[in-house]
């Protein structure tokens, strides 16, 4: 019963909360749809942390999404041993870079007094959950080898069953705790997503594409 509540019910709860709270924030306080960047307060650690984090997580999310949408294509691609080795090594390398970026951002968040002053509990919680997600992913990749293949017959069918509104946890209920934690933590991140500054990923300044060019004139003292 506990597995069904965690992996068969909670995913729907997290998605409902994410959508409803995101819409509420958008229609009641559009200004909150911002990353509230602290770059002006400290930029060096932010640069070295955000670059590997952003690029790393985008690549990881892309291949997770690709595996969900095109599992048969990925399965056919990974039939060759050399391709599977390359895919696993590349994935681990990108995950390590992503973790290093997150660690730098976390250290920056807790050590720089200016950044601490503008941080909320959700900032720390978000970074902590992201670190857990990347670490559990690294653990799975290094200790449960060939996850790129076996996840296509376990995690992917479970996620598809959720989309079909017929949750089937039989695919994953036999997994060890670290793998279950990775899955649960993913939906926990979705759950807290609308309460954090990460919501800015939904903003895209469309008007910037059609506005006139902006001319900036620098005035210097002689």
Q: What is the pLDDT of residues 46-89, one digit of tens each?
A: 778 888 998 999 999 999 999 999 999 999 998 878 888 999 99
pLDDT of residue 67: 94
Place of tokens 């720390």: 124
The two structure tokens encoding residue 51: 């670059």
What Å distances lie between residue 217 and 70, 210, 214, CA to CA?
50, 21, 10
Radius of gyration of the chain from its Cα atoms, rounded to whole angstroms: 20
**Which domains, ranges and CATH numbers included, belong to the chain?**
2-209 (1.20.950.20)
pTM, full prediction: 0.82
Residue 208: pLDDT band (50, 70, 90) is very low
CB-based burial of residue 177 (10 Å sphere; 0-12 exposed, 13-18 middle, 19+ buried)?
exposed
- pLDDT tens readout for residues 84-127: 899 999 999 999 999 999 999 888 888 877 777 777 888 889 89
CA distance 3 to 58: 29
């Amino acid at each position: 019963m506990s597995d069904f509540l965690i992996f068969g019910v909670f995913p729907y709860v997290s998605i409902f909360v994410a959508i409803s709270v995101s819409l509420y924030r958008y229609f009641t306080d559009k200004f909150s749809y911002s990353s509230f960047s602290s770059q002006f307060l400290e930029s060096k650690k932010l640069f070295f942390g955000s670059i590997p984090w952003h690029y790393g997580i985008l690549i990881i999310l892309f291949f997770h999404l690709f595996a969900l949408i095109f599992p048969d294509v990925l399965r056919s691609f990974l039939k060759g041993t050399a391709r599977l080795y390359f895919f696993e090594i590349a994935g681990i390398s990108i995950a390590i870079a992503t973790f290093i970026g997150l660690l730098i951002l976390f250290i920056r968040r807790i050590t720089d007094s200016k950044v601490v002053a503008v941080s909320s509990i959700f900032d720390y919680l978000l970074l902590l959950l992201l670190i857990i997600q990347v670490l559990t992913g690294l653990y799975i990749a290094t200790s449960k080898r060939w996850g790129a293949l076996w996840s296509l017959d376990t995690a992917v069918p479970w996620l598809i069953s959720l989309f079909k509104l017929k949750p089937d946890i039989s695919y994953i209920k036999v997994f060890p705790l670290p793998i279950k934690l990775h899955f649960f933590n993913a939906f926990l991140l979705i759950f807290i997503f609308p309460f954090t500054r990460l919501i800015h990923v939904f903003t895209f300044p469309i008007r910037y594409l059609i506005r006139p060019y902006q001319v900036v004139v620098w005035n210097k003292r002689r």
